[in-house]
A and B are shown apart, each in its own frame.
Chain A
């Protein structure tokens, strides 16, 4: 079996007395979409921050493309091909959409003209090409999410970490984004996504890991996860699985 592009091995992160991530491990095979789900506060974003180099783990290691990249700073990881989006979108507010994306494009294109051309191409891929000259601050929430995605794509990553890229979107906006994400994976980019919007997870993910209280409590295909009583308990509380089984309801969200 080929080595996965990303292997996270028993990562732990302690903040003072709080153990935010507890020996979490997962793998992201190349070219696949892997989802990380779990209730709020489960440590998913902390895990992303560690993988992307914004936090140092208290234990464990991150192996990317066969190399141990634990603790490398974010810009080095970006140069190796790891891109991330932020849960709370962080546009460069004073710049236009094109200029925003160009910052990412500049990683592989030194000349301004090339970077802007590459930015335009990426914008087309995420359906933002009509708004290239708009100031980033003037975009809607959906627009900003797309911008976040576009910027990350502009650095031509091999691994894309999406942190709740669908949060805050209404159902029709979600429906529009899903094929965009699928198209990115189809081009060979490995995707790891944190998501709460279950319909997207169901339709996109090849494999799902469930985090609760910092630990991976379940993993498997999306349908299997949805039926797993441990997962139901993590989201709905102790005894919920039994209750729901008793009421004859199927745990599909």
Chain B
């Protein structure tokens, strides 16, 4: 339980925000940060801990979003089961793609490429298929009741996304301390050596991908309920694939708090950019791309890595021998 302390503290701080400020701007901002943190945590599980860098996480985000929206709009399902099914749909897609891709032994750049391709295929299909509204998109009908998972005020949404992020933090924390986590990290570091130690690498990777997809899909379901409108470009577009990987990389891949830290920093950067340069399309992504390159070049272990280095630097003079840092890469 003591190990959960940092997580609980962070959650408590975040939970207190709506009690301190009623500003819609702040809440909106934080909701989006938490959304990216959630999807980013999904990416982090597969990429940071598993070492498989997906460039197409939009596939899972979008599937969750569309499942939620379409089940409500076309099949009259209530929002709550629609969201649950959306998450399941995303997880199932993750399992299927994982099975296909990892059975074929695709790794590294090829893996990134194929995930990109899957996301693109889904985007094109969604942009022409009548069930998803084709080019027009899908609009969820406004129905401001908790039974329909819609609320007048932003605050309930905030707590919902916070709860989802809490689940993701605790989940990853538990995985870090579990056999599955040890195996996952081993596969990341050296797949052959892991196999020689009894690790079924393919199964482990598929498992990671399924969980990763579930988290990303949860983000998509939330997006659909919060914004009430999605189309192919929003659901399956490259923007979410990029944000999903940028947050953990900036914050620190393979760490529990990486995606949250990274989402905070990246989104703050985005807002600052908008303040300084207006709402011109594309500028925020230019900054993001630049940040990605800079982080990889100068701080590949992200903010978490920098903090760990700082801690080591500060602690070193106090001891005779520098503490051996367990590098949680």
Contact = CB atoms under 8 A, between A and B. Distances in A.
Do the two chains bind? yes
Given A106-B179, A112-B177, A75 B199 contact: yes
Contacts of A111: 179
B324 A135 contact: yes
A31 interface: no
B152 interface: no
Interface in B172-191: 177-179, 182-183, 185-186, 188-190
Interface string A66-109: 00000001110011000110100011111110010011101100
Given A94-B327, A95-B185, A135-B327, A86 B193 contact: yes
Nearest to A134: B324
A93 B194 CA distance: 12
Contact of A133 (B179, B190, B326): B326
Contacts of B199: 75, 103
Contact of A92 (B177, B189, B201, B326): B189
Given A94-B327, A96-B326, A106 B195 contact: no
B98 to A, nearest CB: 17
Contacts of A135: 324-327
A44 interface: no
Interface in B301-329: 324-329
| Residue of A83, A92, A133 contacting most chain B CB atoms (<10 Å) | A92
B315 to A, nearest CB: 14
B179 A112 contact: yes
A103 B183 contact: yes
A74 B327 contact: no
B324 A96 contact: yes
B200 interface: yes
Interface residues of B, number: 26
Given A110-B179, A112-B177, A112-B179, A103 B194 contact: yes
Given A90-B190, A115-B182, A75 B198 contact: yes
B192 interface: yes
Given A112-B179, A133-B326, A94 B197 contact: no
Given A95-B185, A103-B183, A74 B190 contact: no
Contact of B196 (A52, A95, A112, A134): A52
A135 B322 CA distance: 13
Nearest to B329: A94
A90 B193 contact: yes
A115 B189 CA distance: 19
B198 A155 contact: yes
B302 to A, nearest CB: 14
A151 B189 CA distance: 14
Nearest to A84: B196
Contacts of B325: 135
Interface in B199-228: 199-201
Contacts of A73: 195
B178 A86 contact: no
Nearest to B197: A104
Contacts of A84: 196
A96 B327 CA distance: 7
Given A92-B189, A94-B329, A110-B179, A104 B324 contact: no
Nearest to B179: A106
Given A99-B326, A112-B178, A75 B185 contact: no
A155 B200 CA distance: 14
Contacts of B328: 94
| Residue of B185, B196, B328, B329 contacting most chain A CB atoms (<10 Å) | B196
B326 A90 contact: no
A38 to B, nearest CB: 23
Nearest to A112: B177
Given A95-B185, A110-B179, A155 B329 contact: no
A78 B201 CA distance: 13
A106 B327 contact: no
Contacts of A112: 177-179, 182
Nearest to B188: A94
A207 to B, nearest CB: 25
Nearest to B326: A96
Interface string A119-137: 0000000000000011100
A24 interface: no
Given A96-B324, A107-B198, A138-B324, 6 more contacts: A74-B195, A90-B193, A92-B190, A92-B194, A94-B185, A95-B186
- Closest 4 CB pairs between A and B? A78-B198, A94-B329, A92-B189, A107-B198
17 contacts: A84-B196, A86-B193, A90-B190, A90-B192, A92-B186, A92-B189, A92-B194, A95-B186, A95-B189, A95-B326, A103-B183, A104-B197, A104-B198, A115-B182, A134-B324, A151-B197, A152-B197
